[in-house]
């Protein structure tokens, strides 16, 4: 298996960080904590930066492809909150844009695809776009990662790792088929049931695209990789196992073969929203499974049925409660996570835009003190 370069952060600085140790199953003395969507949205410095550099009209995907902006936004929560990891500021739709899909992020709506993929012929036209074209198009992402890991080296003792992330093939396919966010993903599920061969070609193409995106982040300096499946919870277990899990495994395989200097692979994390009935099928040879707020960590671990690290799962709604309720919820999550081989504290989903940054900082401190 190919080894990462000697100077890669996983070899030089982050291999013994709390986060990497926890992902690999070595429970550190202090529980590591980071937050999904910690970069942006809730931070005043993020809003000020975008107002100063972008203006309100710039598409979010365009912002993600400006290396200096992506790097600075990624670093902001590390400086403010003292979290144990940075998560690269990007969007799951970035690799689709770079692969030739006409997609934009509409404020108040979300991803909008100009020409939805509704038929087998549509699928064939899409997959004619060779995912290998990403190898050159991903340079802005690579540069953003390089700048980010250089910035992380100057914060604290320089050991804070960067997590790379990408959208799971099913989530990307759901957006491609519906053309915009959907409550029930009926269009995607219809294509899956009506034309399973076309669906398979679509998700395999999406897996190749998103896998290249994820691998590029790791090659340039990310010390772990998370595959994020926003819509997995809309599927029954049998459909997930047959029509989704194989493509997700392919996406993870793009990183799975990369190792540090000792021959240990890069930690892999799999997260799905509303996936409580799917946890037993989400261990696609990964190191950690992210759990949303609907299922306690100990129950999720029973369903997973493997000796894995768990990540999560404070309910984001708790962030607006009085501190005594937040503190009680923290203790509950830590207790539930104590049965796992290791635990990475996180929210059960992303930081809401209305979250008070001071509360997030206080949560980090509280977890570290326990």
Query: Which one of 37, 189, 204, 212 is the catalytic residue?
Result: 37
DSSP assignment string, 295-362 = S-HHHHHHHH-S--EEEEEE-GGGGGS-HHHHHHHHHHHHHHHTTSS-EEEEESSPPPTT--HHHHHH
Give how far Cα 138 sits from Cα of 67, 153, 220, 247, Å.
11, 23, 11, 21
Residue at token pair 């844009």: 97
The DSSP code sequence of 116-137 is ---SHHHHHHHHTS-GGGHHHH
Catalytic residue among 23, 175, 240, 279: 175
Q: For 100, left (φ over 0), alpha (ψ -120 to 50), or beta?
A: left
Q: Which of 13, 21, 80, 91 is catalytic?
A: 91
Residue 91 annotated as catalytic: yes
**Beta bridge partner(s), residue 228:** 167, 271
DSSP state of 280: G
Residues 6+ apart with CB under 8 A from 22: 28, 31, 32, 288, 309, 342, 343, 344
Are 304 and 288 spatial neighbours (Cβ–Cβ below 8 Å)?
A: no
Helices (H), ranges, the chain:
9-12, 18-23, 44-53, 60-64, 67-81, 94-98, 120-127, 134-137, 139-152, 169-178, 186-194, 196-220, 237-243, 245-256, 297-304, 323-337, 357-369
CB 325 within 8 A of CB 331: no
Sign of CA dihedral 193, 196, 202, 208: positive
Structure tokens of 8?
């890669």
Tell me how far apart the alpha carbons of residues 217 and 145 are, in angstroms, rounded to a whole number. 6
329 and 370 Cβ atoms separated by less than 8 Å: no
> Is there a cis peptide before residue 167, judged by omega within 30 degrees of 0?
no
Q: Write down the catalytic residue from 27, 50, 201, 341.
A: 50
215 included as an active-site residue: no
- Indicate if 175 belongs to the active site: yes
Please list the active-site residues. 37, 41, 50, 91, 175
């Amino acid at each position: 298996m190919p080894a990462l370069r000697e100077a890669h952060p996983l070899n030089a600085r982050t291999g013994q960080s709390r986060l990497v140790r926890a992902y690999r199953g070595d429970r550190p003395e202090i529980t590591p904590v980071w937050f999904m969507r910690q970069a942006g949205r809730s931070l005043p410095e993020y809003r000020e930066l975008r107002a100063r550099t972008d203006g309100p009209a710039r598409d979010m995907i365009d912002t993600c492809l400006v290396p200096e902006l992506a790097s600075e936004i990624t670093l902001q929560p590390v400086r403010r909150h003292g979290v144990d990891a940075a998560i690269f500021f990007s969007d799951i739709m970035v690799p689709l844009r770079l692969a030739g899909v006409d997609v934009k992020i509409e404020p108040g709506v979300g991803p909008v695809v100009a020409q939805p993929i509704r038929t087998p012929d549509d699928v064939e036209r899409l997959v004619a776009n060779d995912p290998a074209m990403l190898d050159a198009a991903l340079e802005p992402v690579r540069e953003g990662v390089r700048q980010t890991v250089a910035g992380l080296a100057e914060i604290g003792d320089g050991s804070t790792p960067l997590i790379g992330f990408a959208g799971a093939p099913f989530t990307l396919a759901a957006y491609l088929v519906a053309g915009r966010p959907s409550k029930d993903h009926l269009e995607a599920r219809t294509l899956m049931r009506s034309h399973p061969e076309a669906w398979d070609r679509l998700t395999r193409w999406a897996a190749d695209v998103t896998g290249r995106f994820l691998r590029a982040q790791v090659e340039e300096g990310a010390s772990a990789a998370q595959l994020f499946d926003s819509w997995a919870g809309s599927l029954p277990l049998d459909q997930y196992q047959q029509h989704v899990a194989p493509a997700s495994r392919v996406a993870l395989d793009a990183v799975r073969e990369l190792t540090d200097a000792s021959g240990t692979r890069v930690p892999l994390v799999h997260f799905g929203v509303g996936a409580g009935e799917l946890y037993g099928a989400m261990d696609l040879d990964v190191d950690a499974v992210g759990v949303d707020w609907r299922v306690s960590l100990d129950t999720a671990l029973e369903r997973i049925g493997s000796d894995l690290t768990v990540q999560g799962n404070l309910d984001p709604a708790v962030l607006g409660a009085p501190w005594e309720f937040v503190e009680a919820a923290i203790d509950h999550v830590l207790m539930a996570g104590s049965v796992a081989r290791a635990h990475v504290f996180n929210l059960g989903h992303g930081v809401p835009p209305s979250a008070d940054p001071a509360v997030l900082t206080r949560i980090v401190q509280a977890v570290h003190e326990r």
